[in-house]
Structure 1
Amino acid sequence: MEVIFENVSADYQLGPIRSPLVLHSVDVTIQSGSYTAVVGYTGAGKSSLLKAMNGLLLPKEGQISIGHLLIKPDKNKKALKSIRKRVGMVFQFPESQLFAETVEKDICFGPINFGVPKTEAKEIAKQVLEQVGLQQDILTKSPFSLSGGQKRRVAIAGILAMQPDILVLDEPGAGLDPNGRKEIMDLIASWHQDRGMTTVLVTHDMEDVVTYADSVIVMEKGQVVLHDDVEKVFSNHEQLEKWHLDVPDARRFQLNFEKQTGILLPKVCLTVDDLADAFIEVGLA
């Protein structure tokens, strides 16, 4: 399912706090079935872009197409319900959204809210719990009795239970230890591959970008300043520095190596395997 932003500008307001133009004249198309990473320094508009896809942030100007559905400035809550079923959003620290007495009730809440019969919702809960790597014996447990990693998985299972076509994630590995973080990221990659989902990931970790994504959106001051495939984005490190963005470890090693030795490697290296292949090609390994 394709996502198209057409000249989208948006303000953010919570009570008396107003942030003007958190999105400013955004024009970007996210291809169906792609895995897109959204990067940029803090405050660049990354999370706002995700919220706009889900209708949590309505455009002040322009429109957003989610397949054949439209998000416009005058969109009402009833019309947005169908969009939110299609676009599953995982916030930072999603476990903070857990609220029900049992894991089963928490996971079933979304499907039942969208009209799925209770018995069917319970079957869906069992399926998605398995998909996030948890045993069914925790269905009757309180979500608040679980470990931090288990809570994160239950929260994500609740999103998957709604069977979205598009999955948008805001730093899903935040706060987890390295092993737990990798497990979550690998699970997301598996769902993306198996279901052919359109996946959009906000991250500050460039290793995640080169490991999982096939395209990158770079944001600055509420605007999309670049949208390209991963290799092309990281080929221009000088421009990335202007946007206050880091590069993956392998690319940093390559740049330092080339600067110190004067030997240019034959391609942009984003992983250790890329480096090994490049060194072999120039006769250094």
Structure 2
Amino acid sequence: MAMEVRFENVSADYKIGPIRSPLVLNSVDVRIESGSYTAVVGYTGAGKSSLLKAMNGLLLPKEGQVAVGNLIIKPNKHKQALKTIRKRVGMVFQFPESQLFAESVEKDICFGPINFGVPKDEAKEIAKQVLEQVGLKQDILTKSPFALSGGQKRRVAIAGILAMQPDILVLDEPGAGLDPNGRKEIMDLIASWHRDKEMTTVLVTHDMEDVVTYADRVIVMEKGKIALHDGFEKVFSDLEQLEKWHLDVPDARLFQLNFEKKTGIVLPKVCLTVDDLADAFIEVGLA
């Protein structure tokens, strides 16, 4: 069952030992709708990963609160309450395979469900199901995760998150470090889970092709604040603002701009995908 996420005047500092980064989130107010697929974009250090961590209590607010469905994350939230939230919000970190630790794939996937109170036999059945969901065969359950290929490790790590059956899936650059085919496979799988499970999905990405291919909403972050929260057509319509945000232009939009400059023919809409281009060329009689 999908859930919405609401940030209400959330500010947060990030601390690791003596190192403190003030206001990685700065008075954030945003509502992420239940069942939406939202891409979070912005330059490095804009607050994208901090926004994700605040959704499952890895980063607690200094001020304000985060509502995950009817669960509330406030400053000084106690550990048991955070455990409940983290079961509902599954977080896939960048390079999640670095979190693999168990002696077998099965034990690695089962760790989360068992930690949340699922009986061992039931956890093993869940492991079989989610392994199939990420496109891997059950014969690797007994193998060491460290003996797998890079793409297989990534899938096993994501399977461990799915095994907890979250309502919200948040992902920090899940395709990072993979070759183009492996990246597309992972992104297509995530899109499939989003549709089939009717999840609320939040994706941090630097790839604007991911945004226009998979997401229906976009959050642009700048200096720990929400600079814009809208559909991707709105985000990519203002080239001057994109440059200020240090965001790339999708390939189809770049092609459109070059075409219009060279031919003087203005297409009837902002084109962000190949299908958009095809429709626009048909409309002006060029296809």
Q: Which of the five TM-score ranges fits, normalised by the shorter chain?
A: over 0.9
The counterpart of 2:198, out of the listed 196, 199, 204, is 196
Distance in 1, Cα, partners of 2:261 & 2:221: 28
Runs of 4+ in 1 over 6 A off after TM superposition: none
Identical aligned residues as a percent: 88
TM-score by length of 2: 0.98
Match of 2:144 in 1: 142
SS at match of 2:8: strand
Greater shift, 187-196 or 266-275, is seen at: 266-275
Q: CA deviation at 1:7?
A: 0.5
Match of 2:50 in 1: 48
Distance in 2, Cα, partners of 1:189 & 1:66: 21
Q: CA deviation at 1:284?
A: 1.7
Distance in 2, Cα, partners of 1:227 & 1:39: 10
Distance in 2, Cα, partners of 1:258 & 1:29: 37
Match of 1:35 in 2: 37
The counterpart of 1:273, out of the listed 257, 272, 275, is 275
Distance in 2, Cα, partners of 1:93 & 1:218: 23
Greater shift, 163-172 or 72-81, is seen at: 72-81
SS at match of 1:235: coil
- The answer to whether residue 76 in structure 2 is matched with residue 74 in structure 1 is yes
Consecutive unaligned residues in structure 1, runs of 5 or more: none
The counterpart of 2:261, out of the listed 253, 259, 262, is 259
- After superposition, what is the alpha-carbon deviation per residue over 1:187-243, rounded to whole angstroms, capped at 9, x for unaligned? 000000000000000000000000000000000010110000111111112111111
Q: CA deviation at 1:77?
A: 1.1
Distance in 1, Cα, partners of 2:257 & 2:238: 11
Distance in 2, Cα, partners of 1:231 & 1:205: 16
Distance in 1, Cα, partners of 2:108 & 2:189: 20
Distance in 2, Cα, partners of 1:268 & 1:65: 35
- After superposition, what is the alpha-carbon deviation per residue over 1:150-191, rounded to whole angstroms, capped at 9, x for unaligned? 000000000000000000000000000111110000000000
Match of 2:171 in 1: 169
Q: CA deviation at 1:17?
A: 0.8
Match of 2:59 in 1: 57
TM-score by length of 1: 0.99
Distance in 2, Cα, partners of 1:144 & 1:70: 37
- After superposition, what is the alpha-carbon deviation per residue over 1:101-160, rounded to whole angstroms, capped at 9, x for unaligned? 100000000000000000000000000000000000000000000000000000000000
SS at match of 1:43: coil
Distance in 1, Cα, partners of 2:97 & 2:248: 29
Q: Which amino acid aligns with 1:64?
A: V
Count of matched residue pairs: 285
Match of 2:211 in 1: 209
Distance in 2, Cα, partners of 1:224 & 1:142: 42
Match of 2:126 in 1: 124
SS at match of 1:99: coil
1:225-236 equivalences under 5 Å are 225-236=227-238
Match of 1:219 in 2: 221
Consecutive unaligned residues in structure 2, runs of 5 or more: none
Distance in 2, Cα, partners of 1:276 & 1:181: 25
- The answer to whether residue 181 in structure 2 is matched with residue 179 in structure 1 is yes
Distance in 1, Cα, partners of 2:76 & 2:136: 41
Match of 2:14 in 1: 12
- The answer to whether residue 106 in structure 2 is matched with residue 109 in structure 1 is no
Match of 1:99 in 2: 101
**Superposition RMSD in Å:** 0.7
SS at match of 2:187: helix
